[in-house]
Structure 1
Amino acid sequence: MIVNTLGERVKMVRKRNKLTQVDFAKILGISQSNLSEIESGKSKPSIDVLISLITQFEIDLQWLLLSEVTSCKTEIAKDEMELIRSYRKLQDIAKEEVLDFVNLKLARYRRK
């Protein structure tokens, strides 16, 4: 599916992940009104917002900017989004502890 504008592609990502403008804007670190302007084509997203989109939602940059790839790579489940939101609220030391815990769990499951 080809979507003509950057704003339409941003909106497509949001809708495919079943997020409201408010929730999607929070994830991207922008206001809901800024997101609305981006989706309607009234303004362009900042580099930071573009980076957040491609990393958090595993979006192909070429598709996002130029609509030259067929679609978004994957969708993020609601529980995964909640993990991301919670992780972002942690202090750096707590984030390190979370990563250590995840790595420990991965190591245990690899041994089985």
Structure 2
Amino acid sequence: MHTGQRIKTIRAKHSLTQHEFSKRIGISPNYLSELETGKAKPSKPVLLALEHKFGVSYDWLVKGKGPESVQIDNKLNTEEREILSILRKNRELYQTVKNLSKKYIKNKKTLGNLSDKINISKEQALLLLTTVDKIKSRSKAF
């Protein structure tokens, strides 16, 4: 089995299309197709992206030796492993959690910036933003 076939195995395990998979590792679907068929060899950044995003062993990808997975699960507690398992099996849920996380991080930064600029606590900034949102939603109703 060549590296491209191992890449295809990883993609199949995650039930992703070539388009979805290539987007997650930052390459074009055409390049992924060439990799999977053995027409092209993956660059080191692609291999590292696979290792990072999918927990795949670099040595297994390149040489076909050793364990397929990097054992990041050993560092997780039982609850974290369970959540990770659920997210790996449910793409829609994964996307929802990812989007919510991004919004949370963005809002956290916004609250911090707002509280710094007008010299109020983050709690007061949250109350202010919530009130502004309520006013906006009420004004749209009229």
Relative contact order: is structure 1 or structure 2 higher (C-alpha 8 Å, sep ≥ 6)?
1
State the partner residue of 1:110.
Answer: none
TM-score between both structures, scaled by the size of structure 1? 0.65
**1:92-107 mapped onto 2 (5 Å cutoff):** 94=106, 97=109
Q: 1:57 aligns with which of 49, 54, 57?
A: 54
Q: CA deviation at 1:47?
A: 1.5
> What SS class does the counterpart of residue 68 from structure 1 fall into?
coil
Q: CA deviation at 1:30?
A: 0.9
> What SS class does the counterpart of residue 8 from structure 2 fall into?
helix
Query: Unaligned regions of 5+ residues in structure 2, if any?
Result: 74-84, 110-142
Inter-partner Cα distance in structure 1 for 2:60 and 2:47: 12
Inter-partner Cα distance in structure 2 for 1:58 and 1:66: 16
1:7 has 2:22 as partner: no
State the partner residue of 1:29.
Answer: 26
State the partner residue of 1:39.
Answer: 36
> What SS class does the counterpart of residue 18 from structure 1 fall into?
coil
Larger helix proportion of the pair: 2
TM-score between both structures, scaled by the size of structure 2? 0.53
Q: Percent identical across equivalent pairs?
A: 32
Q: CA contact under 8 A between 2:57 and 2:67: conserved in structure 1? A: no
**Higher radius of gyration, 1 or 2:** 2
Q: CA deviation at 1:71?
A: 3.0
Mark the CA change 1:72 to 1:30 in structure 2 (over 3 Å): closer, same or farther.
same
Q: Count the aligned residue pairs.
A: 90
